[in-house]
Structure 1
Amino acid sequence: MIGWPSPSFPRSSPRAASSLAELAALIDWPEIDRHLVGISAAAKGEPGWPPLALFRALLLATWHDLSDVRLAEALDDRTSFRRFCGFAAHESTPERTTFVRFRRELVRRGLDRVLFEAITRQLEAKGVTVRTGTLVDATLIPSASIRHDGEARWAGHRRRKPTHGYKAHVATDEGAGLIRGVEVTTANVHDAAELERVLPPEPGHVYADSSFAGGPAERVIIGRGGTPRTVQTGIWGRGPEALVRLEAHNAAVRRIEPHRLFRRHYLLRG
């Protein structure tokens, strides 16, 4: 994966477990599978897919920065992806819309948070984590159908087309990319509205864009024992020196590239 690693493995291991097969061996899949009993993502006339296979596929999308379209394409031609999800070489694989429906069902049942926590807990038990700070962000998730999804809401943006759908509020470890907290709301909810719910205890330096700057959000971060490292838009004082300080601060925060990183670590991405 380019630009951001999959979960970091413990240095004490005799050999770094970097392949999907080694990663899969660290996870107790039956624990995950028992939460997925009874979930169907099949539309009328389409084949049903094992829920655990779909969940594994969404993990791949998280670790490899894949949209649903790219995920469907990758499953169609990548042997390692097929093997990780449990699809045989001759088997057909799910289409994009299957992942949309499956994701929506996870959210409806409140399983998105449960499964995140289960995966994080298991990997941490194996030493697969490096905690140096926390990244927080909110990512828009387009709805599958404007006409038929009555729960979704519109969100406007100055530089992009309005989006009809939902918003994922996410906190991840800076070092390992493990998800520490997640909440899903309608798209019209402010980016920082769920910060108190997703931010873990003792988050260290907390990196975020300008949506998280200002009093209320920064008070939440400080109250958890963290240090706000948010992009600032106001000028710090007067004169050229103030602008230099502001630009240096924002450059340091942006080196973490939070927007790109968060989208690569959100399981419920559209």
Structure 2
Amino acid sequence: MVDATIIASASEDDTDGHWVKHRGKTAVHGYKAHVGADADTALVEEVAVTPANINDGRAGPAALPENPGNVYADSAYRGDHFGKAVIAKGGRPRIVATGMWGRDEAEIRARLEAHNQPIHRIRGRIEKIFGTWKRSYGLRRTRWRGMAKAGVQIRLTAITCNMKRCVNIVMVAQ
């Protein structure tokens, strides 16, 4: 699974962070954490940190693990740049479709639903990772200025979350 989340910077004076605005939400000055996670265990495998204004599809290849298998992503990753990067690493892109061609509207909706349903079921797991980071680990805002320090904070949060998740996986397995 691959997705990104926006994390506000410690200060608007942080020159490494940039402004970004998403549909109907207030503008945020900060960074994006692009995350590649395992679909089965929800363990974070790769993290890439960029300024918030960088397109997901362009920065997404940096969050791909080695031998990714099926890569589930939302429609922000649609496009040749990300798809070719997934294929080059030996994976298969499974990206949410937002539109299809056809004459019959009911048929198009049915095809979209059939294509997107299995992707949504698996891809939604990565949103829980971001929710946990922001709710339980205080990653709504970075603590320090600068890309390097923000990257360290995000990676330490990912490590901590993975350790907690591993304990839960082991406890369930026993």
Report the TM-score, using the length of structure 2 for normalisation: 0.69
Residue from 201, 214, 229 that aligns with 2:66: 201
Aligned runs of 1:183-262 on 2, under 5 Å? 183-239=48-104, 240-256=106-122, 257-258=124-125, 260-262=127-129
Q: Which runs of 5+ in 2 are unaligned?
A: 141-174
Q: State the one-letter code of the partner of 2:120.
A: R
1:166 pairs, out of 2, 6, 31, with 31
CA distance in 2, matches of 1:268, 1:169: 17
Determine the C-alpha separation between the residues in 2 that align with 1:191 and 1:159: 18
Q: Could you say which structure has the higher helix fraction?
A: 2
- Kindly indicate whether structure 1 or structure 2 has the higher relative contact order, using CA contacts under 8 Å at least 6 residues apart: 2
Is the 8 Å Cα contact of residues 32 and 49 (structure 2) preserved in structure 1? yes
| Partner Cα distance (1:259, 1:236) in 2 | 29
3-state DSSP class of the match of 1:222? helix
What do the CA deviations read for 1:63-99 (whole angstroms, capped 9, x no partner)? xxxxxxxxxxxxxxxxxxxxxxxxxxxxxxxxxxxxx
| Number of residue-to-residue matches in the alignment | 135
Please, what is the CA RMSD of the aligned residues? 2.1
- Indicate the structure (1 or 2) with the bigger Cα radius of gyration: 1
Change (3 A) 1:265 1:204: farther
Per-residue deviation at 1:195? Answer: 2.1
TM (norm. structure 1) is 0.46
The alpha-carbon distance between structure 1 residues 210 and 258, as it changes in their structure 2 partners (threshold 3 A), is farther
Identical residues among aligned pairs (%): 42
Q: What is the distance in 2 between the residues matched to 1:236 and 1:205?
A: 25
2:47 aligned partner:
182
> Residues 155, 179 of structure 1: CA spacing in aligned structure 2 closer, same or farther, 3 A cutoff?
same
Q: Which runs of 5+ in 1 are unaligned?
A: 1-134
Paired letter, 1:153? H
Match in the other structure for 2:172: none
The answer on whether the counterparts of 2:39 and 2:125 sit within 8 Å (CA) in structure 1 is no
Q: Which runs of at least 4 in structure 1 moved beyond 6 Å after TM superposition?
A: none
